[in-house]
Amino acid sequence: MANGKYVTYFRVSSRKQGKSGLGLEAQQSAAQVFLRGESWKTKVGEFVEVESGKRNSRPKLLEALALCRIYNATLIIAKLDRLARNVAFIANLMESGAEFVAIDMPTASKFTLHIMASVAEQEGDMIADRTKKALATARERGTMLGRRDGAIAAFSSIGFGRALAALLWMSIVLCAVVGTMRREAPFGAVLNHWDETAAYAALFALVSGFNQSVPA
């Protein structure tokens, strides 16, 4: 803070958070309030990273630190756990001589930072454990996990039984429509060549494919 130059660094854990602004906006807002109340004058740069706090691979953080070294600036972070949830990572960063300030504890000593880094790492381990248990419970209940788009996502939200009933109902409606079209020109000439056996086979394949997509 001696020369008033600073670089802001914000981190979110997922691309969904990054796109929605969840977490990111809160960090940026805290930084704006903090910087107005201190003698910070020159903003050298701002970096946003989408990465887990437990991972040490941080290209954006490396860029931010490199910029700090070039301009003799201070790295500004909203919270210590936004920097990392890894004690060794933060300890090595402090030993390297990099100057950084966590807005939630701007006057913290190295001893305090080490303790809070340990707390952040423990919290990260607990979050990971809760997530694994929640996913395991969801699988046991037959919940479809992973990315789903379109009709599959809609069907999974109402349950397999109702989804199967909806598919069968749609097939009945389709057969009724096709039956009507067979009696109408010019559709009849075309649809008369449509093998009904093939139509029922296609419907069976559709239902079977959906059934296989739902975990046992």
Span 183-201, mean pLDDT?
A: 53
User: Can you give the pLDDT at residue 215?
Assistant: 47
User: Can you give the pLDDT at residue 74?
Assistant: 92
User: Can you give the pLDDT at residue 9?
Assistant: 94
- Cα torsion angle, 186, 192, 196, 198, sign: negative
Task: Report pLDDT digits (tens) over 28-68.
Answer: 999 999 988 667 888 999 999 988 766 778 899 999 999 99
Strand partners, 6: 43, 74
Span 90-109, mean pLDDT?
A: 86
More confident residue, 165 or 185: 165
More confident residue, 82 or 47: 47
Q: What confidence tier does 72 reach under pLDDT thresholds 50, 70, 90?
A: very high
b/e map of 60-94 (b: 16 or more CB within 10 Å)? Answer: ebeebbebbeeeebbbbbbbbbbbbbbbebbbebe
Q: Where are the domains of the chain?
A: 5-137, 150-213
Structure tokens at 205: 């394949």
User: Can you give the pLDDT at residue 214?
Assistant: 45
Task: Report pLDDT digits (tens) over 194-215.
Answer: 555 555 555 555 555 545 544 4
Q: How many CB atoms lie within 10 A of CB 137?
A: 10
Confidence check: pLDDT of 73 > 80: yes
Confidence check: pLDDT of 25 > 70: yes
Beta strands in 3-136 (DSSP E): 5-12, 42-50, 74-77, 100-102
User: Considering the chain, what is the average pLDDT of its residues?
Assistant: 74
Residue type, 93: L
Q: What confidence tier does 109 reach under pLDDT thresholds 50, 70, 90?
A: confident
Confidence check: pLDDT of 2 > 60: no
Confidence check: pLDDT of 11 > 70: yes
In CATH, 5-137 is 3.60.21.10: no
- Give dist(CA 167, CA 187) in Å, integer: 24
Structure tokens at 20: 């929605």
User: Can you give the pLDDT at residue 8?
Assistant: 94
Task: Report pLDDT digits (tens) over 113-163.
Answer: 878 777 777 777 787 788 888 888 888 887 766 655 555 555 555 555 666
